[in-house]
Amino acid sequence: MADSVKIQGWCPTAWKPMQAQDGWIVRIRPHCASLNVAQWRALAELALAHAHPQLELTRLGNIQLRGVHASQLGQVRSQLVAAGLVPANADEDLAPAVHCSPLYARHDLTHQLAQSLSHAAATRLSPHALQTLGLNALPSKFGLLVDDEQQSLRDIGADLRLHVLPASAQTEHFAPRYALTLGGSGKTHVYANATEAIEAAVQIAIWFASERVRGNQQDDRQAITRLQQKLAYLPQDLPALRTATVLETSPDASATCPLTPGEHGRHFVLGAPLGRVNAQAVLLLASHLPPNTEIRVTPWRSLLVANGATTIAPKALDSASWIVESRDARSRVSACTGSPGCTQALMPAQQLALQSAKHLPEGMHLHISGCAKLCALGKEATAVVYASQSDAAQLLLNAYTAAQPQARIQIPFQAQLSEPAQIQELIHELSI
């Protein structure tokens, strides 16, 4: 049987949550990747009172509450607004997301760029702002990103990506310059100041909002969600593009995660197994930290505790909930939601991933997926196992390495018997 997957329509937010098998998903998009301890405490308490007792960290640095009952959605949103975690109006919440690298110093140029771009997205690219131009809202998957100077997030997909050029690439007068990369184009536009770079990003987003509906039927419009799909038609005489210097770049150069669990100078990075953080463990962590401590969300399934090297005592933390050193085997696995949380899941992907972790050799990263859709599959995965169904409705485990995606191994899946042993068998075969 062909692997059939159902594509969900949108990325959830707090004002437009998404229904899953186990309740509603409410997504929080942290401003500049940062929350303070009081906000983390508010989130953890909401999870314990109204959702699953785990906070999910997404690959874009968002945080999700899962399993919220429909009758609680209004109350949850009010409390998120009161905690300063979500905009007070739907229009701002439904503006395109601006994701941000956690690797900045407060008030440095990267931080200022992220703040200014967030403001521009909220005021000029929200559904209402576009409506005043006679345009429909941008698709919810459309996203902007502010990277750090080292471009640590270049593996993370974004339609419009901005960063401050490193000092080595600045002009001889050491004036900062700003780069704007258009998703998948292989071209970077360089600007002399942040205002011009942000203006260019806004103009391109507005152009995309009008271009995606031009001459297309309703179904085609729905399918056009990313800038890359329309880049070939981008007019090079767009006013904001004319002021830029254009550099050819390699859009898909891969980045390695610069933040493994443990101490990083003054900061401490706490890994979250499979990107899920136990709400009780968050409350325990918060009780050890000064209330104004900043805890940033990273796109690498971890939290960066600012200045945490002196305040975090790893032994005082719940070891089942946190990864405090990079050699922890749980760093070598990832998984989608799987069953029972996802309607399309054919197996409990998270449980299998945690059970399989200790069997993985160093240097291997295994992603386990409950179906062929492969949600949340990251570039760090060196091997993938997913479930599918045969024509005779038999459950199958499929495995392949990232180096040879076409060479797939398949074995029958015997749920309830010895799942980790079956995964082990596949890993062994893949390693040969």
Q: Which residues bind ligand SF4 (CB under 6 A)?
A: 336-338, 342, 344-345, 349, 369-371, 373-375
Contact 33, 101 (CB under 8 A): yes
Would you say 25 or 286 has its CB closer to ligand SF4?
25
For the bound state, the minimum distance from the C-beta of residue 145 to ligand SF4, rounded and expressed in Å, comes to 23
Would you say 345 or 366 has its CB closer to ligand SF4?
345
For the bound state, the minimum distance from the C-beta of residue 357 to ligand SF4, rounded and expressed in Å, comes to 18
For the bound state, the minimum distance from the C-beta of residue 107 to ligand SF4, rounded and expressed in Å, comes to 38
Q: Sign of torsion, CA 25 28 33 37?
A: negative
For the bound state, the minimum distance from the C-beta of residue 258 to ligand SF4, rounded and expressed in Å, comes to 27
Burial-class residue 340 by CB neighbours within 10 Å (0-12, 13-18, 19+).
exposed
Q: Sign of torsion, CA 96 24 54 22?
A: negative
Would you say 118 or 339 has its CB closer to ligand SF4?
339
Measured at the alpha carbon of residue 368, what is the angle toward residues 362 and 35, in degrees to the nearest 5? 85
Would you say 81 or 372 has its CB closer to ligand SF4?
372
For the bound state, the minimum distance from the C-beta of residue 127 to ligand SF4, rounded and expressed in Å, comes to 27
Q: What are phi and psi of 245, to 5 degrees?
A: -95, 135
CB within 8 A of 427, min separation 6: which ones? 356, 359, 360, 364, 366, 383, 399
Contact 334, 369 (CB under 8 A): no
Instruction: Give CA 233 to chain center in angstroms.
Output: 28
Q: Which residue has the tokens 């899946």?
A: 413
Q: One-letter amino acid identity for 293?
A: T
For the bound state, the minimum distance from the C-beta of residue 12 to ligand SF4, rounded and expressed in Å, comes to 13
For the bound state, the minimum distance from the C-beta of residue 169 to ligand SF4, rounded and expressed in Å, comes to 39
Contact 171, 185 (CB under 8 A): no
CA distance 319 to 326: 13
SS (H, E, C) 54-104: EEEECCCCCEEEEEECHHHHHHHHHHHHHCCCCCCCHHHHCCCEEEECCCC
For the bound state, the minimum distance from the C-beta of residue 28 to ligand SF4, rounded and expressed in Å, comes to 19
Would you say 285 or 375 has its CB closer to ligand SF4?
375
Would you say 127 or 157 has its CB closer to ligand SF4?
157
For the bound state, the minimum distance from the C-beta of residue 422 to ligand SF4, rounded and expressed in Å, comes to 17
Would you say 102 or 370 has its CB closer to ligand SF4?
370
Measured at the alpha carbon of residue 264, what is the angle toward residues 258 and 268, in degrees to the nearest 5? 110
Q: Sign of torsion, CA 118 121 123 127?
A: negative
Would you say 48 or 374 has its CB closer to ligand SF4?
374
For the bound state, the minimum distance from the C-beta of residue 327 to ligand SF4, rounded and expressed in Å, comes to 28
Q: What are phi and psi of 271, to 5 degrees?
A: -80, 150
Would you say 195 or 390 has its CB closer to ligand SF4?
390
Would you say 110 or 344 has its CB closer to ligand SF4?
344
264 conformational bin, left if phi > 0, alpha if psi -120 to 50, beta if neither? beta
